[in-house]
Amino acid sequence: MTSVWAVLWAVLAALVDFRRWVPGSWREWLAWFLLTSLAIGVAIAADLHWWPKLGPLHLLDLAFSGPSAWLYGGQGVLQEE
């Protein structure tokens, strides 16, 4: 006999389908953990207004502003703004 809790559980599981959200193997768990902890860390950093001097955007800027400027056809183009 199916209990009412089992029915509610089945409805919830079918609607939200959370059983399929859960990673299966240890590799999946590892990837899940890495991505989620990074997301939480970044969210906390944003909430605490913790922006280091050399943030990810600065790094990208250091690496790619030169090649991009070259694509524009010269160094001085973007300085005009």
Residues that bind other proteins (CB under 8 A): 10-11, 14-15, 17, 20-25, 27-28, 30-32, 35-36, 38-40, 42-43, 45-46, 51, 55-57, 60-61, 63-73, 77-78, 81
| Least distance (Å) between residue 57 CB and other proteins | 6
| Least distance (Å) between residue 35 CB and other proteins | 4
CB closer to other proteins, 4 vs 15: 15
| Least distance (Å) between residue 7 CB and other proteins | 11
Characterize 35-68 residue by residue with b for buried, 16 or more Cβ atoms within 10 angstroms of its Cβ, and e for exposed: eeeeeeeeeeeeeeeeeeeeeeeeeeeeeeeeee
DSSP states along 23-48: --SHHHHHHHHHHHHHHHHHHHHHHT
Provide the Cα torsion 67, 73, 74, 79; round to 10°. -90
CB closer to other proteins, 3 vs 55: 55
